[in-house]
């Protein structure tokens, strides 16, 4: 589960409460309420004193800083001038209905200014918060050139946005599901997992509650075959209308009713990039997998059988969903996986967790690891023929359903056979 916000209309006011900006509405009614990780961006030209609204800038910067200071917020940039088109050689500016970018006086489009300039501005704004911008979110048609994508690599930030995953029951076709991104030689643009509310509201016209349809997209990209993560993606202008705000709340409640692993958008982007560089080979009867230990779920068809948990290396557990087995891996980055046709009934395994597995250790008949989540920890553990201890307390059930207010747990198991 990811949640990210494009900075558009951060300067605006709520129709239902003109005393509050859209930024304040989203901060107070969404980010502070739904305490999952959020990747939040602003547009420099909408917020900075040298931008479009100098008379509002002082308050806008204060609101932006108050959002970036929240413990569940990762700062991001949504550019300097919000280019609607990143490649003028494809469509000249005069052909664009809204212009090439926001009407910043005297400004001529410059990709370096958009990337480096906006990153520097936000990093300077938040310099006393102990945070830095981690993500650059593409704007407009999200169609940068390879050279412009390269700038984000030079800036050492992840670049995300683009793609057009909008599958719904009205149009339930795979053509409406985008890939994970697009390649530019050694560089890669990571697409947003799902489209934003602008599409579901017919380009922010009507119905303003239309983003509720993204729940259909979540469902259709999960079953019968899991294609995408749940991803909540919207603009600050969703805080303008009561209908759009209420739709957003319903989307959050639905997402959190599912068994999800919340993460920042930068973490998702890193997983996408690692997917492209993960090596898989067959060595006798074993599958050998090598990566950096960031991408840690392997999906295999049920016809493979079940992971042999005693023979395999780096396997923490697995779960059967539909016609697939999802194999949970540790953070070592090196795995040897053996499969067996008969499901192991006596082996300890992690079935599900909404957090990350850390410091997995398996020595002889002893297993230990930590679970760390961004929200209240939830996990399911199959004990097998093992004595299982959670934070030092022995568990008596075969299938342990762990739910904690805290975000951390230490798991230990002592197994027979």
pLDDT of res. 386: 97
| Span 293-317, average pLDDT | 96
| Span 156-180, average pLDDT | 98
Q: Which domain holds residue 386?
A: 278-415
Q: Are residues 265 and 286 in the same domain?
A: no
State yes or no: pLDDT of 206 exceeds 90. Answer: no
Q: Are residues 331 and 382 in the same domain?
A: yes
pLDDT of res. 219: 98
Q: Are residues 187 and 114 in the same domain?
A: yes
State yes or no: pLDDT of 67 exceeds 80. Answer: yes
The answer to whether 254 and 217 have CB atoms below 8 angstroms apart is no
CA distance 237 to 185: 35
Q: Are residues 11 and 137 in the same domain?
A: yes
Q: Are residues 251 and 311 in the same domain?
A: no
Q: Are residues 335 and 217 in the same domain?
A: no
pLDDT of res. 89: 80
Looking at 217, 238, 271, which one is the last position of a domain?
271
Q: Are residues 382 and 239 in the same domain?
A: no
Q: Are residues 12 and 118 in the same domain?
A: yes
pLDDT of res. 100: 87
Q: Are residues 259 and 318 in the same domain?
A: no
State yes or no: pLDDT of 95 exceeds 70. Answer: no
Vertex 222: Cα angle to 220 and 228 (nearest 5):
100
pLDDT of res. 90: 78
- State the chain's mean pLDDT as an integer: 96
CA distance 82 to 9: 11
Show the tokens assigned to 77: 């940039």
Looking at 271, 293, 309, which one is the last position of a domain?
271
pLDDT of res. 88: 81
Strand partners, 407: none
Give the domain CATH number at 92: 3.20.20.370
The answer to whether 155 and 136 have CB atoms below 8 angstroms apart is yes
Q: Are residues 250 and 175 in the same domain?
A: yes
For residues 283-317, one letter each, b for 16 or more C-beta atoms within 10 angstroms of the residue's C-beta and e for the rest, the string is eeebbebebeeebbebebeeeeebbbbeebbbbbb
Q: Are residues 117 and 220 in the same domain?
A: yes
Number of domains in the chain: 2
pLDDT band at 191 (very low <50, low <70, confident <90, very high): very high
Q: Are residues 262 and 289 in the same domain?
A: no
pLDDT of res. 314: 97
pLDDT band at 183 (very low <50, low <70, confident <90, very high): very high
Q: What does the pLDDT look like over 372-408, one tens digit per residue?
A: 999 999 999 999 999 999 999 999 999 999 999 999 9
| Span 234-248, average pLDDT | 98
Helix (H) or strand (E) holding 62: helix 57-68
State yes or no: pLDDT of 182 exceeds 90. Answer: yes
Share of the chain above pLDDT 90, in %: 95
Neighbour order of strands in the sheet with 366-372: 356-363, 366-372, 408-415, 386-390, 393-395
Strand partners, 412: 368, 389
Question: E-strand spans in 238-332?
Answer: 279-283, 286-290, 297-301, 306-307, 315-321, 324-329
- Other residues' Cβ atoms within 10 Å of the Cβ of residue 62: 11
Looking at 250, 271, 292, which one is the last position of a domain?
271
Q: What does the pLDDT look like over 110-129, one tens digit per residue?
A: 999 999 999 999 999 999 99
Helix (H) or strand (E) holding 249: helix 242-257
pLDDT of res. 326: 98
**Which pairing describes strands 158-160 and 135-137: parallel, antiparallel, or unpaired?**
parallel
Residue with tokens 């509310």: 197
Q: What does the pLDDT look like over 39-55, one tens digit per residue?
A: 999 999 999 999 999 99
């Amino acid at each position: 589960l990811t949640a990210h916000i494009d900075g558009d209309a951060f300067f605006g006011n709520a129709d239902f409460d003109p005393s509050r900006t859209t930024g304040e509405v989203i901060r107070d009614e969404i980010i502070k309420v739904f305490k999952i990780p959020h990747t939040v961006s602003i547009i420099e030209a909408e917020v900075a004193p040298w931008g479009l609204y100098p008379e509002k800038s002082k308050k806008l910067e204060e609101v932006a800083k108050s959002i970036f200071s929240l413990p569940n917020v990762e700062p991001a940039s949504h550019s300097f001038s919000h280019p609607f088109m990143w490649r003028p050689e494809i469509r000249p500016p005069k052909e664009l209905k809204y212009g090439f970018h926001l009407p910043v006086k005297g400004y001529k489009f410059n990709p370096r200014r958009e990337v480096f300039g906006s990153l520097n501005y936000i990093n300077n704004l938040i310099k006393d918060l102990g945070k830095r911008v981690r993500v650059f979110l593409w704007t407009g048609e999200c169609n940068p050139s390879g050279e412009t994508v390269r700038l984000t690599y030079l800036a050492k930030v992840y670049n995300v946005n683009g793609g057009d995953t909008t599958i719904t029951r009205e149009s339930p076709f795979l053509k409406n599901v985008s890939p994970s991104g697009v390649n530019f030689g050694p560089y890669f643009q990571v697409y947003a997992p799902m489209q934003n509310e602008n599409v579901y509201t017919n380009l922010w016209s009507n119905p303003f509650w239309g983003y509720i349809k993204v729940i259909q997209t979540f469902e259709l990209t999960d079953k019968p075959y899991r294609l995408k993560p749940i991803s909540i993606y919207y603009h600050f202008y969703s805080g303008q209308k009561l209908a759009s705000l209420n739709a957003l709340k319903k989307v959050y409640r639905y997402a959190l009713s599912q068994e999800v692993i919340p993460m920042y958008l930068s973490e998702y982007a890193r997983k996408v990039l690692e997917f492209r560089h993960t090596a898989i080979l067959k060595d006798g009867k074993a599958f050998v997998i090598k990566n950096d230990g960031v991408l840690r779920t392997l999906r295999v068809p049920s016809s493979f059988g079940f992971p042999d948990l005693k023979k395999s290396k780096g396997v923490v557990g697995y779960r059967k969903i539909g016609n697939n087995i999802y194999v949970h891996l540790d953070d070592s980055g090196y795995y040897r996986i053996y499969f067996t046709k008969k499901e192991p009934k006596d082996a300890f395994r992690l079935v599900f967790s909404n957090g990350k597995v850390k410091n997995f250790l398996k020595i002889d008949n002893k297993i230990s690891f930590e679970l760390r989540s961004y929200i209240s920890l939830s996990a399911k553990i199959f004990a097998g023929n093992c004595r299982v201890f959670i934070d030092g307390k022995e568990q008596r059930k075969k299938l342990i359903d762990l739910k904690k207010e805290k975000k951390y747990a230490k798991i230990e198991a002592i197994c027979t056979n």
